[in-house]
Structure 1
């Protein structure tokens, strides 16, 4: 066995030397080629091609590939070694497709075999532009190359061997590595079920239910890289966007796409993107203020309202209500009167209505109003032309100017914020609403929203409705449409938000991912994926479930699953990868003792060479207090309170709700008692979120009565 390994290692050392020599030769040649800066179009195109190759080769320089697949097609007599890397590299100086490339891009059709093949003697196949290609796999080999040094060779399948496939051995090696302050790509360890999602068809509203640690965010980012490769003639990176829960999370995932050679993809929060489009002179209240959902003290908890305002205003029922209201606005917006620019001259109402409802019916409402008023002005100009009497001409011009201004004021004000406010004010009847149309909106929603809007303030839950009205009024410019949209933490999005985003994307091209078990924003999010799927025709949507968790050890996953079983009663439980570690520690300590435990734990984690540790509190105020206490003890810690745009790594103190989407080598979860986490699905989900942030170690601290969601180990 040792001889076999040494032989394989030496073989790969020789191949690596060949690959690096060729990459260095090409890169040197390209870097020595003068950059063209002239105005000749043909030369500019050639320079763009050369620059793209420079960048591609530079990415391959330190680690040309990560895998090898020996594949024999039915048309060949022997297997061909195929090396798979983050970027494709060809032999020679010409950047053209060849029969025997040096390195195959991981996104190429044939590279899918590296991910989909999991062993067995049966024929394997992949889909190519020319059709299905079948053949036999003789070898699947994982390689670790860092800074041009071959560090590891693992044969996960050998056709001539009696040993079973051992793909988990290499996966566990990569999963055991410690965490830093950025999410990393998983190109070398993409699993078969993840690869199916990455390579799914573009024009689909793809929905992914992924348990904590299933890699759903990383899979979505790799899917963007794949789509740009597969559909490079149809989509552009700058017309793709990722919606994430906050700016810090966007910073946390910011390295993945550049590592994959992808740039210029937009990244934003829904709130920031929507506010920029709306360009409102109104204040967006912080998300932490919404109905007291993220209270600074637990005494505020009784004010929590789970299902009144946000759930209603995020529903398709509210969208339908707005549709009906906008229909009413359209029907009644043309003033019910003829227009007379001066005495004796009349433009009939029927003519104006014909312009609005027939000639300009394909325009959005605001544009139709603008067109009609502009046409009335042109009609006035035409009627003034025959008048030769200068006194009359001056008199008629003055009168027509005054009367057209007065007439224009009789039209509704086509402003999204104004119309949205009118939805919740029954006394504003003239422009849009009738009294009896308010019966379908819950009275509490009307009352609460009227107070907010009166103060010229809006809540996050209002943004979908405002944007929808804005589009109805103004339509959208073609440059506002996206080629593809990724929605992360989609369980906290409302169906109405997704319906609005569907207006901004071509062909329902979505990747929508989340975990219902982490739906801690129940006041606005979804309770079932059918709430999202029902927005699309059956042929336009697809659903995938990722149940395998790669983040945490078996002990942590089983502990977290117990919380869900006791507190949420769900079957969306994670299946852990067989990676064993330390038992979860559940420690009853007084507040004074907890401080000593924290100090001891941090010292222990440093000895384990952990790079990231999180101390998770129940509330923001408790996080601030603990942070100051640890600072006073001389510890180097960072506070995360929601205002940060960047995750620093190291030791972080933060409320548990802000930890969602992040992961840490070790987690200390504070105050897991019955007061902080009492009965209720939301508390259980919060506790689950906190526990599943840990990769290697999880410590639970409490004082008094332990939360009912956790069973004290025997």
Structure 2
């Protein structure tokens, strides 16, 4: 199927054959009853499972699985149970018809499905079949539902049929209406509107990491979330065993996307931010821009490694002498030093290396004992292990990440030794704490310090990993933050989502190659999405003008939406008055309205809106009709209408302010009004 272009839509008529809608509504009633029975059955299984005679461990596992399934079924959001249908006249499904929805529904497990899951292999033809490649599909049907439907069968208002076997190849009114439907509240799933190039990414192999360079409005976030749902469906045991993590840039963004996976039938997936994942301590300290940039620099990994392993020294090895009655078991100093040096050369995690030294020292003593009197009892080995520990402490001491980082940043000599040949003298002076704390326990850790602590903690002991991690807005990650993610997916795979043009941190990536290398996936394919389905052509055109001023090599976006509106309003000396007028105009239209301004202008804009009787909610109120949000928090969000206030102020507010402005200008999915009193940066 060709991509929909509203300007070129033919006059389609949902086939009004009289029996069709009543039959489809009746089928939906049947599906609704079957789903209710599935929910009740899941709860009944919990009750029966609690009475099953089994070992304690088996009963606990069974109970957990049954309760989890019942909970998932109870928490399914209300809504239509299918959005499409496939009638096959060829291939292995010839003569069969399948309704496609967000989850599989059947009257009992062995019965044919009333609805097939959109992730099932048979459903792929719904997204990929075309007149040129029907894939055995005679008719693809799309259903139209009343906006905001809770799944009442009477809300099924129409349908469209494409006779692919006859060579029909036309755009869909229903598809376009769904894509362009006004956005109020959290992000919705796109299971009904996935495009072929998006579907290819969603159904990629679990073992393959992929990077999606997505222009604004191309659906990269939705692709990442639907890929997560697909992997959970296709590889449930492997994913649940390793776990899945969705990483977003901030809590506002995570709230915005929180309902997508549950709507697709997947609950219990961890959605977090990187600071939450690595937050060993509250952030109470602050770095200036230079210090923060240095702490995020990849050279710090080598500095930290040196600082940690400077505590290990084979030269401090002394003879081990363990008394036992009148006899002393001995490990010569030279042999002990060799053990330490050998383990150090193996480069294990710090804690593992310490344990190896202890084990090998005890093994040396145990070999002496076996030659003298045969294999010793386990109690004797434990006694030797305890006796060896003080000697191990001397050459490979226990240590906490906090001790290493606090000593490094608080002691000039320690930093100089660890950073020799890595950091310049001036850079070392920038890193040193001005007033070192008495101990690490009283240190005031900055956000960047937490990244350093995580690096050292990962050197001491590998963190628990995930089977798959989806990283959104990845272009803003620093090299050191990428390393923190890489440690958590050492044996899993990644879906990396972002747009280099929207990089706003001082360390934002200029190329994907460097960032993917820091993530441990240098060979991951970078797939560009450049076709926008949400942002109108006029808005994309303005953003592309700004894109040419940015220091990134990404293709310009294009939009399939010829509708939408762009206005430029000159404010003169009355910026707030012009903003209020623009807001009133936007509120006269359908959909959500976002007023986006530089953080410094936020208080006076809010005061003006309040005085005019149009108070705005904050960015966390996702269901609000009118929202006032600082430019720094708008990434990843979208509104039907955006009022962008004083672009020059947004561009000047930070080092990569033009990139921030690019983000602001691409949040509108219907109309954008730019209010300015100063010359426009573009």
User: Which TM-score applies when normalising by structure 2?
Assistant: 0.81
**What corresponds to 1:112 in structure 2?**
124
Q: Hey, what's the Cα distance between the residues in 2 that align with 1:600 and 1:52?
A: 51
1:485 to 1:97, Cα distance in 2 relative to 1, 3 A: farther
Structure 2's unaligned 5+ residue stretches are 1-9, 369-385, 438-442
Contact 1:31/1:54, CA 8 A, preserved across alignment: no
Q: Secondary structure at the match of 1:677?
A: helix
Contact 2:246/2:469, CA 8 A, preserved across alignment: yes
**What corresponds to 2:81 in structure 1?**
64
Q: Hey, what's the Cα distance between the residues in 2 that align with 1:597 and 1:692?
A: 21
**What corresponds to 2:509 in structure 1?**
526
Q: Hey, what's the Cα distance between the residues in 1 that align with 2:484 and 2:162?
A: 47
Q: Deviations over 1:52-102 (max 9, x none)?
A: 4896598597512001122233357x5432211001122x42x1374xx22
Q: Hey, what's the Cα distance between the residues in 1 that align with 2:644 and 2:79?
A: 39
Contact 2:179/2:193, CA 8 A, preserved across alignment: no
Q: Mapping of 1:536-685 within 5 angstroms?
A: 541-568=524-551, 570-590=553-573, 593-610=574-591, 612-619=592-599, 621-640=600-619, 647=622, 649-673=624-648, 677=651, 682-685=656-659
Q: Hey, what's the Cα distance between the residues in 1 that align with 2:316 and 2:205?
A: 49
**What corresponds to 2:456 in structure 1?**
469
Q: Hey, what's the Cα distance between the residues in 2 that align with 1:363 and 1:706?
A: 58
Q: Deviations over 1:392-423 (max 9, x none)?
A: xxxxxxxxx99986984675552212323455
Q: Hey, what's the Cα distance between the residues in 2 that align with 1:334 and 1:10?
A: 89
RMSD over aligned CA atoms reads: 4.1
**Which 10-residue stretch deviates more, 507-516 or 55-64?**
55-64
Structure 1's unaligned 5+ residue stretches are 126-134, 293-304, 384-400, 710-714
Q: Hey, what's the Cα distance between the residues in 1 that align with 2:14 and 2:614?
A: 46
Shift of 1:227: 0.4
Q: Deviations over 1:422-454 (max 9, x none)?
A: 55567445xxx7748523214443222212783
Contact 1:8/1:153, CA 8 A, preserved across alignment: no
Contact 1:140/1:157, CA 8 A, preserved across alignment: yes
Q: Hey, what's the Cα distance between the residues in 2 that align with 1:22 and 1:66?
A: 13
1:73 to 1:161, Cα distance in 2 relative to 1, 3 A: closer
**What corresponds to 2:466 in structure 1?**
482
1:265 to 1:594, Cα distance in 2 relative to 1, 3 A: same
**What corresponds to 1:262 in structure 2?**
266
**Which 10-residue stretch deviates more, 653-662 or 34-43?**
34-43
Count, aligned residues: 637
**What corresponds to 1:393 in structure 2?**
none
Q: Hey, what's the Cα distance between the residues in 2 that align with 1:504 and 1:482?
A: 6
**Which 10-residue stretch deviates more, 157-166 or 220-229?**
157-166
Q: Hey, what's the Cα distance between the residues in 1 that align with 2:217 and 2:95?
A: 36
**What corresponds to 1:141 in structure 2?**
142
**What corresponds to 1:85 in structure 2?**
101
Find out whether 1:231 has 2:235 as its counterpart.
Answer: yes
**What corresponds to 1:15 in structure 2?**
24
Contact 2:409/2:433, CA 8 A, preserved across alignment: no
Q: Secondary structure at the match of 1:36?
A: helix
Q: Secondary structure at the match of 2:433?
A: helix
Contact 1:65/1:143, CA 8 A, preserved across alignment: no
Q: Deviations over 1:124-180 (max 9, x none)?
A: 44xxxxxxxxx344434344363223444343632366753214x333211332212
Q: Hey, what's the Cα distance between the residues in 2 that align with 1:321 and 1:153?
A: 64
Q: Hey, what's the Cα distance between the residues in 2 that align with 1:3 and 1:190?
A: 20
**What corresponds to 2:485 in structure 1?**
501
**What corresponds to 1:155 in structure 2?**
160
1:406 to 1:58, Cα distance in 2 relative to 1, 3 A: closer
Q: Hey, what's the Cα distance between the residues in 2 that align with 1:350 and 1:616?
A: 69
Q: Hey, what's the Cα distance between the residues in 1 that align with 2:400 and 2:265?
A: 42
Q: Deviations over 1:197-256 (max 9, x none)?
A: 111111122111111121111111111110011001322188111111111211111111
**Which 10-residue stretch deviates more, 149-158 or 555-564?**
149-158
Q: Hey, what's the Cα distance between the residues in 2 that align with 1:6 and 1:403?
A: 83
**What corresponds to 1:387 in structure 2?**
none
Shift of 1:261: 1.1
Find out whether 1:195 has 2:207 as its counterpart.
Answer: no
Q: Hey, what's the Cα distance between the residues in 1 that align with 2:12 and 2:309?
A: 78
Of residues 173, 184, 188, the one that matches 1:184 is 188
Shift of 1:109: 0.8
1:187 to 1:466, Cα distance in 2 relative to 1, 3 A: same
Contact 2:85/2:100, CA 8 A, preserved across alignment: yes
Shift of 1:663: 0.9
**What corresponds to 2:660 in structure 1?**
686
Q: Mapping of 1:278-427 within 5 angstroms?
A: 279-280=280-281, 283-284=282-283, 291=288, 309-310=292-293, 312-323=294-305, 329-330=311-312, 332=313, 335-339=316-320, 347-353=331-337, 355-356=339-340, 364-369=349-354, 408=393, 412=397, 414-424=399-409, 427=412
Shift of 1:274: 0.3
Q: Hey, what's the Cα distance between the residues in 2 that align with 1:613 and 1:47?
A: 44
Contact 1:564/1:570, CA 8 A, preserved across alignment: no
Shift of 1:285: 5.1
Shift of 1:583: 2.8
Q: Deviations over 1:603-653 (max 9, x none)?
A: 33333232x32222223x32133223433444322345xxx6x64533222
**What corresponds to 1:299 in structure 2?**
none
Shift of 1:40: 0.3
Q: Secondary structure at the match of 1:687?
A: helix
Of residues 438, 443, 446, the one that matches 2:428 is 446
Contact 2:606/2:615, CA 8 A, preserved across alignment: no
Q: Hey, what's the Cα distance between the residues in 1 that align with 2:72 and 2:419?
A: 60
Contact 2:362/2:388, CA 8 A, preserved across alignment: no
Q: Deviations over 1:652-707 (max 9, x none)?
A: 2222121111111221111234x65369982221111111111222111111x412
1:658 to 1:3, Cα distance in 2 relative to 1, 3 A: closer
Q: Secondary structure at the match of 1:513?
A: strand
1:443 to 1:157, Cα distance in 2 relative to 1, 3 A: farther
**What corresponds to 2:669 in structure 1?**
695
